[in-house]
Structure 1
């Protein structure tokens, strides 16, 4: 089987060095990431990849989002350095890296739209990586529309990655999230909220060609199908200070049908039940193989190996397995089949 890993993370040398120079933030990132050589050391990345036969990657930067690293006067430069570095890796090692997802300076929305146009219009990037909130702001704010518009116009996907830190408290009486709840439960919540905002803001009606992939197999949505479906069919019944029911009449279809329009990936940290749940919700035409490497306990190969094993254990028809493992990625990203 051929595998195209649609969502995994790497810092090219140029942006890695630049980030480490940023006072405070750079030191914090370096402290954590230096313990995961596969995310910045190309030789280590190759060593991990060589453990798997006919395996290739679509690259994207790791966390945190660029807009959290610096102000809008600096992030456009960071985005160009990052994207040009990823493009260079794809050009130099096409047998390993079949494409990359561009990062954008989302705290500078006009520059973000321009950078999206630059990398998508030139055919350099095969998609965009956008995070679930922009320094706390929702993605459906009008100032971010140009980014989604560019993706839709060029027929390339927006890959939605969660962004939440310990500064998001779990209770209103506290000032931070405890026990890394912000990550374990907070990231799936973040992704699900961002998906809902794209749906109910009617962005998906305004941009019918927009394709969005929700990282980690659609987050909470598949498991909460009953709430997303029959629950949101009753939108407004639980709200007395606004007439939300009017929105149902403005949407072109049921809310759950929009959620099924999202794409999803298999990056669920080696959980077979979650994989089955997500596949049942989205179907084999909307799910892409992805590992989230190198954030497994082995710092590289673990989630790749476990995800492959789970997919092979599901006894899917060979045609369906081919779609998930490489066909859907080739189609969504506009890749040459077999590259």
Structure 2
């Protein structure tokens, strides 16, 4: 069966070299330096050769452009990233049928301009944002034009990737997060927090056709369906300094119904329990196959094996499997289905 990986990460070589040159702290990009599949296209193609039915939608890897470059240089970096991903798609359309545009989020006017160029000129099929912009929430009014342009003008989906570093401590008495808690549990929290901000800031009411693909199966939301269901039906009862109860009454839908409007991917490092949980919450038509390639212990190949194994271990109908593996993504990206 065709497998269209909706969240595969890449750092095109020209972009990678420029990013490495700009990095003040080489330790900050330590992980990326040890994964050749990220920036070596030949290594990536060789890895994919053993999976003839497997394809990737390319998304730029961490770190976010706005973390690498200031607002004066980030537009140039975004253009370089998008140009290089478009070249890879054009050179190998059978392997990489689409890419997602990266934006300089710390320069909103330039982000709007680059979005238009990447979609209209290069043919990008969506945009990628991270769960915060250098510590600022996505529902900050300054970023609203980006979402409005993507949805109302271009009608493309939004890929949302978590970002959180060790500098975001777990305790007020400490200055950094220890034991990589910032990644293991911090990233799911970041994604869940960003989703919640979108829900209560009215993103789906203002943009009813908004499609957001949440990385790692919607993070904490499916597992905590009771907290976002009956729990948030009591929204405001715990808060005295803001009128959250009034906000709840003004919302056309229950909070949980907004959370179900998000899309999710299967990039859960090969675990089947989380995929089962996410499918039950979002339903199969809101779940897309993704591997998080190449961030596995083998530097790429492992999740290409283990995530399909996890999906196939579930009692899914053939229609649901086809939807998850490729049809949902093709429909979302408005790409033809040769099936």
Q: TM-score, normalised by structure 1?
A: 0.97
Q: Residue 248 of structure 1: CA displacement? A: 1.1
Partner of 2:242: 242
User: What do you get for the CA RMSD once the two structures are aligned?
Assistant: 1.2
Q: TM-score, normalised by structure 2?
A: 0.97
Q: In the alignment, is residue 35 of structure 1 matched against residue 34 of structure 2?
A: yes
Partners of 2:70 and 2:251 in 1: CA distance: 36
Partner of 1:108: 107
Partner of 2:151: 152
Contact 2:23 2:68 in 1 (8 A): no
User: How many residues of Structure 1 are paired with residues of Structure 2 in the alignment?
Assistant: 338
Deviations 1:96-144 (A, max 9, x none): 0011111110011121122112222336111111000000000001110
The within-5 A match list for 1:66-145 is: 66-122=65-121, 124-145=123-144
Contact 1:218 1:265 in 2 (8 A): yes
Runs of 4+ aligned structure 1 residues displaced above 6 Å come to none
User: SS in structure 1 opposite 2:8?
Assistant: strand
User: SS in structure 1 opposite 2:136?
Assistant: coil
Deviations 1:230-252 (A, max 9, x none): 11111110011121101112212
* Structure 2 unaligned regions, length at least 5: none
Partners of 2:156 and 2:257 in 1: CA distance: 21
Q: Residue 29 of structure 1: CA displacement? A: 5.2
User: SS in structure 2 opposite 1:20?
Assistant: helix
The within-5 A match list for 1:131-210 is: 131-153=130-152, 154-210=154-210
Partner of 1:320: 320
User: SS in structure 1 opposite 2:217?
Assistant: helix
Q: Residue 23 of structure 1: CA displacement? A: 4.1
Partners of 2:23 and 2:128 in 1: CA distance: 25
Partners of 1:270 and 1:321 in 2: CA distance: 16
Deviations 1:53-105 (A, max 9, x none): 31100001111100001110000000000001001111111000011111110
Partner of 2:265: 265
Partners of 1:131 and 1:150 in 2: CA distance: 17
Contact 1:20 1:29 in 2 (8 A): no
Partner of 2:64: 65
Partners of 2:286 and 2:121 in 1: CA distance: 26
- More displaced, 309-318 or 273-282? 309-318
Partners of 1:43 and 1:252 in 2: CA distance: 51
